[in-house]
């Protein structure tokens, strides 16, 4: 499993001519790193003087945010693994025979299905990374001020994950003929990128105001 490699082994494998990991896996990893930084900020906040002064609602929000960042950091790693699996599966479909019209039709149909399955993973990464902004904003607003820069790095990683994942969605869309499907996916991806930029900038403004 990719997530069990050492950091150096992972990077060396990434730099090699191995088909996986690639950009899709890196997008998921960036989202996992951003989530983990969020968890770190919350762990450095809970139990501290400022945290103890918050009302019960705010404490609950922070605890819930920690739970979400912890869950998602692991889910993004699972998506990194799935991205590699789906890519290799898609590559195998290119080996299907195409000698007869029937074989060509079967191959074309399988490839369309394969492209859709392959793009679902980076699409999920983009969607989930977008939703993570809610918790990183809480870390920036209410987290330990000594770790405020980490909230900023988390936000930057989330946006990198979103835009990187969207690129991987789009390269798979190029192999799909269903125009209605493509339009729907493209609209959602554009939303994640553009609205994500706004959320990222809002968090960065909070971070910079506290530095």
List the structure tokens of 4: 């069990």
Q: Where in the chain are the domains?
A: 24-209
Sign (positive/negative) of CA torsion 100, 102, 106, 112?
positive
Cα separation of 78 and 28, whole Å?
A: 9
Q: Is 176 helix (H, G, I), strand (E, B) or coil?
A: coil
Give percent of the chain with pLDDT exceeding 70.
100
Nearest Cα to Cα of residue 154 among 46, 73, 45, 79? 73
Asked if omega into 21 is within 30° of 0 (cis), the reply is yes
Backbone angles phi, psi at 191, to 5 degrees: -65, -50
The pLDDT of residue 27: 98
Task: Tell me if 138 sits within 8 A of 46, measured CB to CB.
Answer: no
Closest CA to 161 of 43, 63, 72: 72
Q: 24-209 adopts what CATH topology?
A: 1.20.120
Ranges of the chain whose pLDDT falls below 70:
none
Token duo for residue 193? 């990128």
**What is the predicted pLDDT for the residue at 211?**
96
CA distance 41 to 71: 15
Q: What is the per-residue pLDDT for 189?
A: 98
Per the CB < 8 A criterion, the answer to whether 94 and 77 are in contact is: no
How far apart CA 192 and CA 162 sit, in angstroms, is 7
What pLDDT shows up at residue 94?
87
What's the rounded Cα separation, in Å, for the pair 138 and 25?
27
Please give the pLDDT value at position 197: 99
The sign of the CA dihedral 148, 167, 118, 173 is: positive
The reported pTM is 0.95
* Per-residue b or e along 125-136, where b marks 16 or more CB atoms closer than 10 Å to that residue's CB: bbebbbebbebb
Judged by DSSP in three states, 34 sits in: helix
């Amino acid at each position: 499993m990719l997530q069990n490699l050492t950091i150096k082994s992972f990077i060396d494998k990434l730099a090699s001519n191995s088909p996986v990991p690639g950009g899709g896996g890196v997008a998921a990893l960036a989202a996992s790193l951003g989530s983990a930084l969020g968890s770190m900020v919350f762990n450095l906040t809970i139990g501290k003087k400022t945290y103890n002064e918050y009302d019960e609602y705010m404490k609950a929000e922070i605890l819930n945010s920690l739970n979400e960042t912890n869950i998602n950091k692991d889910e993004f790693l699972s998506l990194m693994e799935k991205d590699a699996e789906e890519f290799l599966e898609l590559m195998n479909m290119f080996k299907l025979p195409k000698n007869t019209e029937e074989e060509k039709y079967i191959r074309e149909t399988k490839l369309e299905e394969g492209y859709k399955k392959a793009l679902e993973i980076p699409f999920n990464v983009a969607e989930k990374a977008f939703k993570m902004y809610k918790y990183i904003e809480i870390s920036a607003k209410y987290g330990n001020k000594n770790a405020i820069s980490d909230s900023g790095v988390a936000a930057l990683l989330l946006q990198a994950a979103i835009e990187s994942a969207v690129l991987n969605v789009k390269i798979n869309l190029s192999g799909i003929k269903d125009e209605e499907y493509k339009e729907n996916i493209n609209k959602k991806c554009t939303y994640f990128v553009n609205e994500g930029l706004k959320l990222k900038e809002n968090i960065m403004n909070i971070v910079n105001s506290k530095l």
